[in-house]
Amino acid sequence: MFVKKSWCVRKGKKYTTYQIAESYRPGKNKNPRTRILATITHLPLPLIEQISLLLKSPQAQVVSDLSPFFKSSFILGPILFFSLFMERMGIGEALSLIPSKSRTLLWAVILNRILDPRSKLGSVAWVKRTAFSFLGGIEKETLTVNEIYQAMDALYERMEEVFDQFGKKNQKQMSIVNTFDPFSANKIDPLFCY
């Protein structure tokens, strides 16, 4: 799906129309066609732009109010670095067995333990003062330590499956690392392969 912008000129005046559309193929060996799902011309232009962004990238999040970013600064760089590192290690794939909200909170606790080790109660304060709440879509005003405990309970219930998933992902990478031996007898430390 995408936002289709079209216009026409009537009596010398240009009119613009915005519509949510999707492409489809009516049959085998037929040319693609466009189907209009909704007309959104009546919406404000900033909202139309947000809809367009979300349709292009369903994983994107639209932050409607950026003013909190400018009232104070938030830690972002280390969060992004370690999030990408953890994703590359397969932690995200392993945690995919956990419900989405719990997975996000567990991700926050792991990052908190790496970047600023604190208790579970301290991790709530950490989420509230970093950019993670914006990146993870967490309502920081209503976040409580009980939600973190519930997320940890969800992990505990599926702990074996999560560890198996993580082990399978890293076993593939470890087999690649262990077969690569540029200095005959020396093995590469797997930690440095990321």
Kindly write down the DSSP assignment for every residue of 1-48, as one continuous string.
-EEEEEEEEETTEEEEEEEEEEEE-SSTTPPPEEEEEEE-TTS-HHHH
For residue 133, the model assigns a pLDDT of 81
For residue 190, the model assigns a pLDDT of 47
- Asked if 29 and 91 sit in the same domain, the reply is no
What number of other Cβ atoms are within 10 A of residue 138's Cβ? 19
Residue 147 in domain = yes
For residue 69, the model assigns a pLDDT of 60
Residue 141 in domain = yes
Residue 49 in domain = yes
Residue 194 in domain = no
- Asked if 106 and 149 sit in the same domain, the reply is yes
CA distance 41 to 43: 5
Residue 168 in domain = yes
- Asked if 50 and 131 sit in the same domain, the reply is no
Tokens of 79: 């969060």
CA distance 126 to 50: 29
Closest of 61, 95, 79 to residue 129, by C-alpha:
79
- The parent domain of residue 123 ranges over 71-179
Residues in a beta bridge with 20: 3, 38
Residue 193 in domain = no
- Asked if 90 and 158 sit in the same domain, the reply is yes
Could you tell me the CA-to-CA distances from 47 to 11, 57, 70, 86, 134 in Å, in that order?
28, 15, 21, 33, 19
- Asked if 38 and 112 sit in the same domain, the reply is no
CA distance 37 to 51: 13
Residue 191 in domain = no
Domains in the chain, number: 2
Q: What is the pLDDT along the chain (194 residues), one digit of tens a residue?
A: 888 888 888 888 888 899 988 888 888 888 888 888 888 888 888 888 888 888 887 676 666 666 666 656 677 888 888 888 888 888 888 888 889 888 888 898 888 888 888 777 788 888 888 888 878 888 878 888 898 899 999 999 999 998 888 888 777 666 655 555 555 445 544 444 44
